Amino acid sequence: MGVNAASAQEVIKFAHVVAPNTPKGQGAEYFKKRAEEILGDKVKIEIYPNSQLFDDDKVLPAILRGDVQFGAPSLAKFGKWTKKLQVFDLPFLFKDMDAVSCFQDGEKGQELLNAMSGKGLTGVGYWHNGLKQLSANKPLRVPEDAAGQKFRIQSSDVIAAQFEAVDAVPQKMAFSETYSALQTGVVDGQENTWSNIYSKKFFEVQDYITESNHGLLDYMVVTSTKWWEGLDPEIRDGLTQAMNEASDYANGLSAELTAEQRQAVIDSGETEILQLSADDFAKWQTAMKPVWDEFSGDIGQDIIDAAAACN
Ligand code: LMR
């Protein structure tokens, strides 16, 4: 390769906070593989997992500055940029991941990819992680069990309201600080997906996990609108193809990884898994559902209705 060809290479950084053996970690690797296969030496994709480069609160400004080109924060982490994506945090909104796909692939979900275009950010795809489970050092069977317990949460006002609805104390905290906060007792519990609970070993420092499936943790892959639109069209088309394939790949893989890693947590014997009876599940739903009304003005009732219609 000549000097000119080398200097024309587009170096593209993708930063995220989870481990490589997660749906997002694998999606990012797949994107790299396909982009480099499709575009050859025209691009070099560098993946930075495990908050190596940025925590989620720093990655969006970094994308706008051009320090990194792609990030995929959880949909819970865009509150400062748009209120509309808060829809994804509403407790008990989606009954399963098929309902999530239906909403994301539908008209409203696709429109939400552009919810931050006025702020210079473009969404290029949704990636699944999965539904969240509750964990703590005491058994959480009914909403009253959570009262007074401190929970680490992602930086989402909806999730804060969800825990306040059961008289718990939410504490926003970076993902990278969660394990040590649980270990040292700075917080009593947390909510997360099986893949995050497994890959970050939260199960080793939590005595109980309630399989509550009470909310969603999914991602939007985002980039800078200015950078994206300024790319050589051949490169943008190749990246679009690689991203679409990576989205299909990550979304197909998430259910499989979730099942595998849930089983690995159970097999570890380090924590007790609690199943909710239908009655107890309904109690959590009743306690947390008022959060929908609290945020419907910010989100838009039409968006909430479109999501709920997918169940
Ligand atoms: C969390 O902070 O718990 C998650 O958003 C981390 C992630 O990216 O899955």
173 CA to middle of ligand 1, Å? Answer: 10
Q: What is the pTM of this model?
A: 0.96
In this prediction, residue 151 carries a pLDDT of 98
In tens, the pLDDT along 183-214 reads: 999 999 999 999 999 999 999 999 999 999 99
Residue 277 backbone phi and psi in degrees, to 5: -70, 165
The protein residue with its alpha carbon nearest to ligand 1, atom 2, reads 175
pLDDT lower than 50: segments of the chain:
1-6
In this prediction, residue 5 carries a pLDDT of 45
The strands making up 169-172's β-sheet, listed across from edge to edge, are 169-172, 150-153, 189-192, 133-136, 208-211, 272-275
In this prediction, residue 1 carries a pLDDT of 37
Q: What is the ipTM of this complex?
A: 0.99
18 CA to middle of ligand 1, Å? Answer: 7
Q: State which H helix or E strand residue 211 sits in.
A: strand 208-211
In this prediction, residue 286 carries a pLDDT of 98
Ligand 1 within 6 A of 68 CB?
no
- Ligand 1 pocket test, candidate residues 151, 163, 196, most atoms within 8 A of CB: 196
* Nearest ligand 1 atom, CA 76: 5
8 Å CB contact between 288 and 92 = yes
8 Å CB contact between 247 and 104 = no
* β-sheet bridge partners, residue 224: 121
In tens, the pLDDT along 224-237 reads: 999 999 999 999 99
In this prediction, residue 8 carries a pLDDT of 80
50: left (phi over 0), alpha (psi -120 to 50) or beta: left
The protein residue with its alpha carbon nearest to ligand 1, atom 5, reads 74
